[in-house]
Amino acid sequence: MLNFEFQNPTKIIFGKNSISRIGIEIKKRGVTKLLLLYGKNSIFRNGVYDQAVLSLKENGIDFVELGGVKPNPVLSKVEEAVMLCKKEKLDGILAIGGGSVLDSAKAVGAGFYLDDIWSIFDGRRIAEKSLPVFTILTISATGSEMNSGGVITKEDEMKKWPFRAGFESFPKVSIIDPSVQASLPANQTVNGAIDALSHIFEYYFDGAKESEIQDEIAESMMRVIIKHVQILLKEPDNYDSRAQLAWCATMALNGSTAIGRNYGDWASHMLEHSVSAFYDIAHGAGLAIMFPAWMKYNYKHNLKKFARFAEKVFGIYSGADEEKAINGIEELIKLYKKFQAPVSLKEIGVKESDLNKLVENASLRLPLGRLKLMYKNDIEEIFRIAY
């Protein structure tokens, strides 16, 4: 196991009827007037907006609203929100929604102190300061409720890139009430689960040695996610399954499975970002296509781990390591098909003639990955496999 330091400052409040506590938590931290940031209409239909606003008013917290954050969030909305925060002299942000809203809130919080927001995306600097961010989660997927990062698209250049942020960009408090997710459409539950699985995979397959406890934790989370998604597709209002999935999604990217590893591979995410930048599909749906393709291309570089994955997650014990590894990847693809997620680029309308633009976009920042450093020719092969 590699040397590590681990600290996560986000306070999680988890469970039924927990949204009403948000005002108290914000007031404790001295915020008096905040930006209430959200996406579209779902928070009005599921009652989350009303609960949150009531709690803010009961605790004397003023707010200015801004809606319209897209499922694949864009830089122009972040810049609009930053301008609003400065104009209204706001001292905090409450994000209500899924990962897109939460990622946007963190970018806004950091952008409040920057002249050039994009500088934290293109690697020129790390965001060291931020307005305090609070979150109420309405879909479990990205894990953004308990980490400091995020992904935003620069529309004019079609760059869907992550930003670099420090300790201050962690949400101060995140509320997760799994019961509000019961009304989610089945495809959103599936996309969220695939997103969470993919976060676990990024660390699990990054080539780190002697990481037994992290492997065991990761494998148990994979099995739990797979089990409870299947229950939720039949029983969408099953609270216990919602809770299991929600906490796994949070744990998948709060740093706990990254300890002692090589910081994750993340090539699959960068490849998917190019797909969803152009085709505006859900991140989880894109990962259902791109991650198995990455696996098929790279499994020989970590053969024992892929064989272990097949054993521990899908119960495949027969055959040599290579046979088990291949069969494990195929079982994952079968599972995604069972979830009615796309497993090829053709399924989402990508034409073969479009592959070159995806390859070029994904090759803007090279090399990608950690298990195997990947360059343009590698990226092209993976897109061919995914097609």
Expressed as residue numbers, the domain containing 340 is: 186-386
- Cβ contacts of residue 122 below 8 Å, gap of 6+? 161
d(CA 133, CA 135) in angstroms, rounded, equals 7
Angle at 128 between CA 124 and CA 131, to 5 degrees: 125
Domain count for the chain: 2
pLDDT computed for residue 210 by the predictor: 82
Q: Considering 133, 165, 181, which residue would you say is the last residue of a domain? A: 181
Same domain, 221 and 346: yes
Examine the pLDDT at 129 and tell me if it is beyond 90.
yes
Asked if the structure places residue 6 within a domain, the reply is no
Asked if the structure places residue 366 within a domain, the reply is yes
Same domain, 163 and 200: no
Q: Give strand ranges (E) for the chain.
A: 11-14, 33-38, 62-66, 93-97, 133-137, 151-154, 159-162, 173-176
- CATH classification at residue 174: 3.40.50.1970
- CATH classification at residue 308: 1.20.1090.10
Q: What is the pLDDT of residues 284-315, one digit of tens each?
A: 999 999 999 999 999 999 999 999 999 999 99
Cα-to-chain-centroid distance, residue 333: 20
CB atoms within 10 A of CB 353: 7
Asked if the structure places residue 2 within a domain, the reply is no
Examine the pLDDT at 28 and tell me if it is beyond 90.
yes
Output the CA–CA distances (angstroms, integers) from residue 357 to 61, 74, 152, 277, 376, in the order listed: 47, 20, 19, 11, 12
Peptide bond into 367 cis (omega under 30): yes
Asked if residues 69 and 42 have their Cβ atoms less than 8 Å apart, the reply is no
Asked if the structure places residue 116 within a domain, the reply is yes
Report residue 15's pLDDT band, with 50, 70 and 90 as the boundaries.
very high
Q: What is the pLDDT of residues 277-286, one digit of tens each?
A: 999 899 999 9
Smallest CA-to-CA distance from 189 within 314, 339, 39 is with 339
Same domain, 106 and 229: no
Asked if the structure places residue 83 within a domain, the reply is yes
Report residue 159's pLDDT band, with 50, 70 and 90 as the boundaries.
very high
Same domain, 238 and 333: yes
Q: What is the pLDDT of residues 360-370, one digit of tens each?
A: 999 999 999 99
Q: Considering 181, 212, 227, which residue would you say is the last residue of a domain? A: 181
Report residue 127's pLDDT band, with 50, 70 and 90 as the boundaries.
confident
